[in-house]
Amino acid sequence: MDQQTKNEVFDQAKAWILEAGERIKSNIDAPRSIETKSNPNDLVTEMDQQTEQFFAEKIKSAYPDHYLLGEEGFGDELEDLGGTVWIVDPIDGTMNFVHQKRNFAISIGIYVDGIGEIGFIYNVMEGTLYTAKRGEGAWKNDAQLPQLSKERPLKQSILALNTTWLIPENPFIEHKGVEELVKTLRSTRSYGSAALELAFVAEGILDGYLTMTLMPWDYAAGSILVREVGGIVTRADKEDLDLLNKTTVLACRSNIHEEIINDYVQLKR
Ligand code: IPD
Ligand code: CA
Ligand code: CA
């Protein structure tokens, strides 16, 4: 994608995200139709579906040769990431959307041949738009985000971590290591939106985010943001992320990445 096209796609996507956000915001108190997906706590609402459909229609009419990988099924069935692919989570943090009416985001990562070129995370109710362009930097609204500290040690770090990983029976990670990690850290947070947690890592208000089960649309945009400010984003076993499958994710400042994986993360499979 040449620079001019990249800028045009960026401006267009930004306008659509703000429009979609406005629709969600103006409907925030409307009665919700709530369904469950993979389990009773995996929620989806009419607003998730309508928002993804909105992006699907816009993308297909403006860019018929682009692909859409979306959570709610309005996109394409993709076997690889060739070409230009919009990876869309229409509402990341649906449980927050339903229960709290805040702390959720629209997340869009635009990839060209598997490389993340443009990222957007829109904290809808707060009106904060995080953006990134590969090689150019990341922004929170109009303010460019500075590079992340490489100095702060783990014991002064705040990590976003779901308490699920402390349950001994969880099928993904040995809880003892997570316990040690929690004891070492300054503190933990859990916001319930992977996209926002990654945006907060990029902003430097969280030092990292460790999780066991994300889908591509949860981190497609956030990983671009974090990398643009010098952070590292990999699977929790240090391997590269696989954007077509469910994965573990560790996103953090570069100086604590190896330490977290080597000293505290022991995956069960
Ligand atoms: C979820 C959120 C949540 C994360 C889950 C995701 P959704 O996305 O990002 O924080 O822990 O793994 O599925 O379902 O609200 O789009
Ligand atoms: Ca999500
Ligand atoms: Ca979602």
Atom 1 of ligand 1, nearest CA residue: 93
Q: Cite the beta strand spans of the chain per DSSP E.
A: 34-36, 43-45, 67-70, 84-92, 105-112, 115-123, 128-133, 137-140, 143-144, 158-161, 187-189, 208-214, 232-234, 247-252
Match 């443009």 to its residue by tokens. 118
Question: Encoding tokens for residue 230?
Answer: 């010098």
Which residue has a Cα nearest atom 16 of ligand 1? 92
Q: What pLDDT, on a 0 to 100 scale, did the predictor assign at position 32?
A: 87
Nearest atom in ligand 1 to the alpha carbon of residue 104 is 15
- Find the distance separating the first CA and the last CA of the chain, reported in whole Å: 38
Query: What residue's CA is closest to ligand 1, atom 12?
Result: 214
The predicted model gives 206-219 an average pLDDT of 98
Cβ–ligand 1 distance for 48 under 6 Å, the answer no
Ligand 1 atom closest to Cα of residue 48: 16
Tell me which CATH homologous superfamily contains domain 3-144: Fructose-1,6-Bisphosphatase, subunit A, domain 1 (3.30.540.10)
Residue 34 has a pLDDT of 87
Cβ–Cβ contacts within 10 Å for residue 125, how many?
A: 17
> For the residues 221-225, what does the mean pLDDT come to?
98
**Does the pLDDT value for residue 67 go beyond 80?**
yes
Ligand nearest to the CA of residue 216, numbered in listed order:
2
User: Ligand 1: which atom is nearest the Cα of residue 215?
Assistant: 13
Q: Phi and psi (nearest 5°) for 140?
A: -115, 110
pLDDT tens digits, residue range 134-154?
Answer: 999 999 999 999 999 999 999
Atom in ligand 1 nearest the alpha carbon of residue 44: 14
CATH of 154-264, one of 3.10.50.40, 3.40.190.80, 1.10.287.70, 3.30.70.260: 3.40.190.80
Q: What is the mean pLDDT of residues 54-73?
A: 97
Instruction: Give the HSE-up count for residue 154: Cα atoms under 13 Å, Cβ half-sphere.
Output: 17
| Best mutation site among 24, 193, 196, 200 for ligand 1 pocket (most ligand atoms within 8 Å of CB) | 193
Mean pLDDT of 152-170: 97
Mark the residues whose beta carbon lies below 5 A from ion ligand 3. 71, 89, 91
Distance CA 49, CA 18 (A): 17
Q: Which atom of ligand 1 is the closest one to the Cα of 89? A: 16
Q: Is 105 in the pocket of ligand 1 (CB under 6 A)?
A: no
For ligand 1, atom 15, the nearest C-alpha belongs to: 93
pLDDT tens string 101-116: 999 999 999 999 999 9
Stretch 165-176: mean pLDDT: 97
Residue 31 has what pLDDT?
Answer: 86
- pLDDT band of residue 269 (cuts 50, 70, 90) is confident
pLDDT digits (tens, 9 = 90+) for 11-48: 999 999 999 999 999 999 998 888 998 999 988 899 99
Q: Where are the domains of the chain?
A: 3-144, 154-264
Q: Please indicate whether residue 90, judged by its CB atom, sits closer than 6 Å to ligand 1.
A: no
- Ligand 1 center from residue 19 Cα (angstroms): 23
Beta carbon of 72 within 6 Å of any ligand 1 atom: no
Per-residue pLDDT band for 173 (boundaries 50, 70, 90) equals: very high
